[in-house]
């Protein structure tokens, strides 16, 4: 409790009277001092009672209109102070504190002041935070003054809501298949089939498929080898594998492949949180795994995943190796070692195959994305939905990675940022770019034939639209008599 | 970047909210405690003004009764100061004027004069709005205790002891009220709260 200047003035008058008494050898001034001091103390005690009533009866709320916002956007924060008339005999000022990272606002814009007799006041302040992260609005600062403006008290008290500031949203995000936009991504599995996360359908046999998955009746009926995928719904874990290797840095400054992948990943996190799916995260840098968060259903777990995603940057060159040890069985490698001393014709013939295979296995073994899948399978026994967000730059490695992820009946969602949509100046030659996009599309559909896999393309919608428009024009000109190719 | 700042303020007696030009919506009324009035005939007079007038009139009457014209003149001078100065300043000047017509406290009549004079002084000091009953009662109580104890010590132990006692008691009571306020509002930090640093 602090005396105001008014109080100090009164106290000074009392002190002068007290000192004058001995000077004039009369107790009369001291009597005056006693009156003044008695009055000051009485006011002090009454002020304390007023403060108590105000603090006990006042309701203070701090409500951001949203708890999650994008960098650079404004969120209205409403500060409301309310008290009953019986506690309205003080002057109460409440100052809304802003997070340190927020754009400063003048104090007069973020304070409410209730005069004596006033019972309610509300003010709305626009909160703007230019950096991503989880921000806490600090306790508001109260300042109470008694009715005579002789004593004040100030302290911090009240709610401390938090807001999560997410990185800039990609404005023109396209997620789809074959150029067709997906209405939403990250849907929860449903009873139906189709473009869900658990396809249950017949598909053509591919090399590497186990023989026990061949649907013999369908094969006999359709004259081609088909395998059947089974619906295998369960309370399965979802693991996000997010590639943030240096190859994900393609694109414009604010809209790299990683930015698009991050946007999709954040959407998946929100979806998983809303339906309560257990969600884990593995992030992959140039030299290995940079983050491994076990699947969790807890709110703080989702928040941690979100924070990790927001903090991701493409791996810079020369980054130190990850401390996570990546292991791969290397069956073919062991076979090559066994054949090393075999000089027979059979052995030499087999070695020719294993030499290629050995290099292939080493290449995968040194692929961090594959290592992420390997790590995931080594550390969990639960049924998995693995969601991989990466680029199509290293297709052969990605193919093996997806195949490994889809083993044991695990469903896989792959979100690919096509290189052709992000390379600078690539669309200058639309015909070439369209050809590359068709190659990508072929690769994407090939991934979907690897098992319970759904592959989506993720990229800037305007560039894709330009590309597809170019493709349609080209097709039309070829179809027309006297077209360019005739 | 545009900025919106709106304020809504409500007074219990207010009926019509008003919108100001800066987007502030306000409902206000005159603070209740500052507008206490009493009716005298057809006129409404603020209690503070009435109390001050009564106190100053009382000082003039007491001055005239105990010191004739000089005492009355002192009372008028005090009233003149009260027009332009705060009550607490008037209290200081009033006791300086008191010295003029009661130079010594040796008789019962002088003690009675002081007692009656202090009634007027207290009325003046309490006339600073808003007027509150608890403040009036506490002021009277503190004043009576302080005056009595100071005068007793003055007579028995001398001037310095009396003044020292008065200042010490005032400081002690003031600090005690301060600590009581901090504790009752929950503002006294525990050792855990501030890592052992004393408040």
**B195 pLDDT above the threshold of 60:** no
Alpha-helical segments (H) within A147-256: 216-222
Q: A98 vs A67, A160, A166, A383, B74, CA distance in Å? A: 15, 10, 18, 44, 58
- Is the pLDDT higher at A153 or at A333? A153
Considering the domain architecture, whether residues A146 and A178 belong to the same structural domain is answered as no
List the structure tokens of A368. 């961090």
Chain A positions touching B102 (Cβ under 8 A) are: 28
Is residue A337, in this structure, part of any structural domain at all? no
Is residue A350, in this structure, part of any structural domain at all? no
Alpha-helical segments (H) within A60-178: none
Contact by Cβ (8 Å): B194, A13: no
Residue A337 to residue B36: CA distance in whole angstroms: 104
Is residue A253, in this structure, part of any structural domain at all? yes
Considering the domain architecture, whether residues A410 and A473 belong to the same structural domain is answered as yes
Residue A251 to residue B157: CA distance in whole angstroms: 92
User: Least CB-CB distance to A21: which of B13, B140, B163?
Assistant: B163
**B174 pLDDT above the threshold of 60:** yes
Considering the domain architecture, whether residues A20 and A151 belong to the same structural domain is answered as no
Would you call B111 an interface residue with chain A, using a CB distance cutoff of 8 Å? no
A147-156, A246-255, B5-14: segment of lowest average pLDDT = B5-14
List the structure tokens of A165. 């500031």
Contact by Cβ (8 Å): A229, A199: yes
**Contact yes or no for A147 and B151 at CB 8 A:** no
Chain Cα centroid distance, residue A5: 52
Beta-strand pair B24-26/B6-10: parallel
Q: Which is nearest to A378 in space by CA: A322, A328, A452?
A: A328
Contact by Cβ (8 Å): A96, A137: yes
Chain B positions touching A128 (Cβ under 8 A) are: 1
Give the chain B residue whose CA is nearest to the CA of A110.
B5
**Contact yes or no for A123 and B8 at CB 8 A:** yes
Considering the domain architecture, whether residues A65 and A155 belong to the same structural domain is answered as yes
Chain B positions touching A78 (Cβ under 8 A) are: none
List the structure tokens of A96. 């809304």
A336 membership: H or E segment, kind and range: helix A331-338
Question: In chain B, pLDDT over 90 holds for what percent of residues?
Answer: 14
Considering the domain architecture, whether residues A117 and A193 belong to the same structural domain is answered as no
Residues forming a β-bridge with A143: A93, A154
Total residue length of chain A? 486
Range of the domain at A410: 173-198+233-326+363-479
Is residue A317, in this structure, part of any structural domain at all? yes
19-58 in chain B: CB under 8 A from chain A: 28-34
A11-25, A323-337, A441-455: segment of lowest average pLDDT = A323-337
Is residue A347, in this structure, part of any structural domain at all? no
Sequence ranges of the domains in chain B: 44-131, 133-199
| CB-based contacts of B41, cutoff 8 Å, min separation 6 | none
Considering the domain architecture, whether residues A25 and A63 belong to the same structural domain is answered as no
List the structure tokens of A303. 């928040």
Question: Residue A38: its pLDDT value, please?
Answer: 93
Is residue A215, in this structure, part of any structural domain at all? no
Residue where the block lists tokens 């049924």: A383
Residue where the block lists tokens 């009715």: A147
Is residue A159, in this structure, part of any structural domain at all? yes
The band of A102, judged by pLDDT with boundaries at 50, 70 and 90, is: confident
Considering the domain architecture, whether residues A388 and A429 belong to the same structural domain is answered as yes
Residue where the block lists tokens 């400054």: A253
List the structure tokens of A476. 């039309």
**Which CATH number belongs to the domain containing residue A322 in this structure?**
3.40.50.410
**Contact yes or no for A31 and B95 at CB 8 A:** yes
List the structure tokens of B125. 């000091």
User: Least CB-CB distance to B12: which of A119, A123, A125?
Assistant: A119
User: Taking the model in full, what pTM does it have?
Assistant: 0.54
Give the chain B residue whose CA is nearest to the CA of A8.
B88
Residue A370 to residue A197: CA distance in whole angstroms: 21
**Contact yes or no for B163 and A22 at CB 8 A:** yes
DSSP calls for B69-118: HHHHHHHHHHHHHHHHS-HHHHHHHHHHHHHHH-----SHHHHHHHHHHH
Give the chain A residue whose CA is nearest to the CA of B188.
A155
The band of A180, judged by pLDDT with boundaries at 50, 70 and 90, is: confident
Question: Residue B5: its pLDDT value, please?
Answer: 40
| CB-based contacts of A73, cutoff 8 Å, min separation 6 | A128
**A485 pLDDT above the threshold of 60:** no
Chain B positions touching A33 (Cβ under 8 A) are: 166
Considering the domain architecture, whether residues A66 and A89 belong to the same structural domain is answered as yes
Question: Residue A426: its pLDDT value, please?
Answer: 57
- Measured in angstroms, the CA of A84 and the nearest CA of chain B are apart by 9
Considering the domain architecture, whether residues A26 and A137 belong to the same structural domain is answered as no
Q: How many domains does chain A have?
A: 3
Residue B40 to residue B84: CA distance in whole angstroms: 25
Considering the domain architecture, whether residues A387 and A274 belong to the same structural domain is answered as yes
Question: Residue A435: its pLDDT value, please?
Answer: 85
Testing the interface with B: which of A10, A27, A57 to mutate, by most B Cβ within 10 A? A27
**Which CATH number belongs to the domain containing residue A131 in this structure?**
2.60.40.10
Is residue A351, in this structure, part of any structural domain at all? no
A28-32, A194-198, A430-434, B140-144: segment of lowest average pLDDT = A194-198
For residue A19, give the 3-state DSSP assignment.
helix
Domain boundary among A166, A188, A211: A166
Domain boundary among A166, A189, A218: A166
**Contact yes or no for B163 and A122 at CB 8 A:** no
The band of A167, judged by pLDDT with boundaries at 50, 70 and 90, is: low
Considering the domain architecture, whether residues A108 and A16 belong to the same structural domain is answered as no
Question: Residue A143: its pLDDT value, please?
Answer: 93
Considering the domain architecture, whether residues A253 and A161 belong to the same structural domain is answered as no
Chain A positions touching B187 (Cβ under 8 A) are: 153, 155
Chain B positions touching A10 (Cβ under 8 A) are: 88
**Contact yes or no for A121 and B177 at CB 8 A:** no
**Contact yes or no for B141 and A32 at CB 8 A:** no
């Amino acid at each position: 409790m602090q005396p105001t200047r008014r109080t100090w003035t009164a106290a000074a008058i009392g002190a002068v009277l007290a000192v004058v008494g001995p000077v004039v050898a009369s107790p009369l001034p001291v009597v005056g001092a006693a009156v003044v001091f008695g009055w000051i103390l009485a006011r002090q005690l009454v002020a304390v009672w007023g403060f108590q009533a105000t603090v006990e009866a006042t309701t203070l709320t701090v409500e951001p209109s949203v708890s999650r916002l994008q960098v650079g956007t404004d969120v209205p924060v409403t500060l409301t102070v309310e008290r009953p008339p019986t506690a309205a005999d003080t002057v109460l000022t409440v100052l809304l504190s802003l997070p340190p990272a927020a754009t400063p606002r003048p104090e007069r814009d973020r304070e409410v002041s209730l005069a004596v007799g006033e019972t309610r006041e509300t003010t709305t302040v626009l909160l703007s935070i230019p950096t991503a992260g989880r921000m806490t609005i600090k306790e508001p600062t109260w300042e109470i003054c008694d009715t005579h403006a002789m004593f004040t008290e100030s302290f911090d008290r009240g709610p401390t809501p938090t807001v999560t500031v997410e990185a800039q949203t990609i404005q023109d995000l396209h997620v789809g298949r074959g150029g067709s936009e997906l209405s939403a991504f990250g849907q929860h599995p449903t009873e139906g089939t189709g473009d869900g996360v658990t396809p249950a359908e017949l598909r053509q046999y591919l090399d590497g498929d186990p023989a026990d998955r061949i649907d013999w009746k369908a094969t006999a009926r359709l004259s081609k080898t088909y395998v059947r995928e089974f619906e295998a719904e369960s309370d399965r874990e979802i693991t996000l594998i997010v590639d943030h290797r240096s190859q994900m840095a393609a694109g414009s400054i604010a809209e790299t492949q990683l930015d698009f992948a991050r946007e999709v990943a954040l959407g998946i996190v929100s979806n998983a949180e809303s339906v309560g799916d257990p969600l884990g995260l593995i992030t992959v840098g140039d030299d290995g795994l940079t983050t491994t968060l076990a699947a969790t259903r807890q709110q703080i777990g989702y928040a941690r995943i979100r924070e990790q995603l927001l903090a991701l940057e493409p791996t810079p060159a020369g980054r130190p190796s990850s401390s996570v040890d990546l292991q791969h069985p290397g069956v073919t490698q062991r076979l090559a070692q066994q054949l090393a001393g075999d000089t027979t014709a059979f052995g030499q013939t087999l070695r020719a195959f294993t030499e290629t295979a050995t290099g292939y296995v080493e290449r995968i073994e040194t692929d961090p994305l594959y290592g992420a899948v390997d790590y995931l399978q080594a550390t969990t026994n639960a049924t998995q939905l693995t969601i991989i967000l990466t680029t199509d730059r290293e297709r052969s490695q990605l193919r093996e990675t997806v195949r490994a992820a889809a083993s044991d009946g695990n469903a896989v969602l792959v979100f690919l940022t096509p290189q052709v949509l992000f390379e600078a100046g690539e669309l200058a030659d639309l015909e070439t770019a369209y050809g590359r996009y068709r190659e990508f599309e072929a690769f994407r559909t090939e991934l979907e034939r690897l098992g319970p896999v759904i592959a989506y393309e993720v990229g800037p919608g305007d560039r894709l639209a330009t590309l597809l428009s170019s493709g349609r024009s080209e097709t039309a000109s070829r179809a027309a008599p006297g077209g360019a190719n005739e | 970047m545009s900025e919106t700042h709106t304020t809504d303020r409500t007074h219990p007696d207010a009926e019509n909210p008003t919108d100001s030009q800066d987007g502030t919506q306000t409902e206000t009324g005159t603070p209740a405690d500052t507008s206490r009035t009493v009716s005298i005939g057809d006129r409404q007079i603020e209690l503070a003004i009435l109390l001050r007038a009564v106190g100053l009139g009382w000082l003039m009457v007491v001055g005239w009764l105990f010191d004739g014209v000089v005492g009355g003149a002192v009372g008028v001078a005090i009233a003149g100061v009260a027009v332009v100065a705060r009550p607490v300043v008037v209290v200081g000047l009033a006791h300086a004027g008191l010295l003029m017509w009661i130079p010594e406290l040796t008789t019962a009549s002088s003690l009675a004069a002081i007692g009656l004079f202090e009634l007027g002084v207290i009325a003046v000091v309490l006339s600073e709005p808003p007027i509150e009953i608890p403040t009036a009662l506490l002021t009277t109580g503190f004043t009576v205790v302080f005056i009595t104890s100071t005068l007793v010590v003055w007579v028995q132990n001398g001037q310095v002891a009396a003044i020292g006692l008065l200042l010490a008691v005032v400081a002690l009571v003031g600090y005690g009220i301060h600590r009581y306020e901090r504790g009752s509002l929950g503002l006294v930090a525990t050792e855990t709260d501030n890592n052992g640093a004393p408040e």
